[in-house]
Structure 1
């Protein structure tokens, strides 16, 4: 633009992403997610685990005997990520990988006694931190956000949004 040109009015130029409500709102969601990872990661540090370890342990606690493949799918990670995390947790005595009784190719995951204790402690931290974070919302607001995020997740999982 030269000195004689006037800037284009907002209606005559392409809007920038941060001027769009959906973009701004998504940035807010992403920021909360990043801040949560930081806050919860700091809470887990004294237990000697990271967020990725917690994700694995909590999922095994929720679904004992889960296969390695199913765990990778639940966590939306590849096999390579699992092949790095699982041996580490096994060496630390937190999980066991056992062969499947009917399919020798399948490995099932179980918490050890030590792993179950650590997971229970970490889950209590998780619940306490979540509760503290969500106190700025009413129960109805919290339920509303949850419902909206489940709808967005379903849309992304099914790619049902326009233009998928």
Structure 2
């Protein structure tokens, strides 16, 4: 019998854990009248107001067309507003409104409860260690992503 590679198992667990967490968050946001994507958009703008629409799409790993629809929804609810970039009229900058900030404050309890439940039984030092591991994984993935992009660019150039 062949022993499983622990790195492969860890990778599979990360994917499965992420899938379960996304599902729980999506379900628990329904009573607030929000989707996970809407929540992520408001949370990002709450921290980084004035992002270009394409920058926000990239940061949230959302297709640009999906970001347009998402911002349309949030804008219709008065939670986000688009403003033209003074330096480039083709670019929309996104700003969270007072109502949007209020909505994110309303969700502070939700975020607190999710964190408490998710890390139930973990010590603070275990969570800090986990963050260090995720930071290393994130750095490795960014390196892989950059190498893949460079290889694709090289392949497309035909040289």
TM-score greater than 0.5 by the shorter chain? yes
SS in 1 for 2:88: coil
* 1:99 correspondence with 2:84: yes
Match in the other structure for 1:146: 131
Which of 21, 44, 50 is matched with 2:29 structurally? 44
5+ unaligned residues in a row in structure 1: which ranges?
A: 1-9
CA apart distance, 1:116 = 1.3
Counterpart secondary structure, 1:96: strand
1:155 has 2:155 as partner: no
Q: Partners of 1:123 and 1:79 in 2: how far apart? A: 28
Q: Which residue of 2 aligns with 1:62?
A: 47
- Give the aligned partner of residue 72 of structure 1: 57
Give, in angstroms, the shift of residue 20 of structure 1: 2.1
Distance 2:57 2:107 in 1: 20
Runs of 4+ in 1 over 4 A off after TM superposition: none
CA distance in 2, matches of 1:113, 1:105: 25
* Distance across 1 between alignment mates of 2:140 and 2:14: 16
SS of 2:90 mapped into structure 1: coil
Q: Secondary structure at the match of 1:64?
A: coil
Contact 1:58–1:123 (8 Å) recurs in 2? no
Larger Rg: 1
TM-score by length of 1: 0.81
1:65–1:110 Cα contact (<8 Å) kept: yes
Match of 1:133 in 2: 118
Please give the root-mean-square deviation of Cα atoms over the aligned residues, in Å. Answer: 2.3
Q: Following TM superposition, by how much is the alpha carbon of 1:50 offset from its aligned partner in structure 2, in angstroms?
A: 0.5
CA distance in 2, matches of 1:153, 1:103: 32
Higher helix proportion (structure 1 or 2): 2
Which stretch has the larger CA shift, 121-130 or 54-63?
Answer: 121-130
Alignment partners' CA distance in 2, 1:157 and 1:101: 32
Distance apart, 1:67 and its partner CA: 1.0
Identify unmatched segments of 5+ residues in structure 2.
152-159
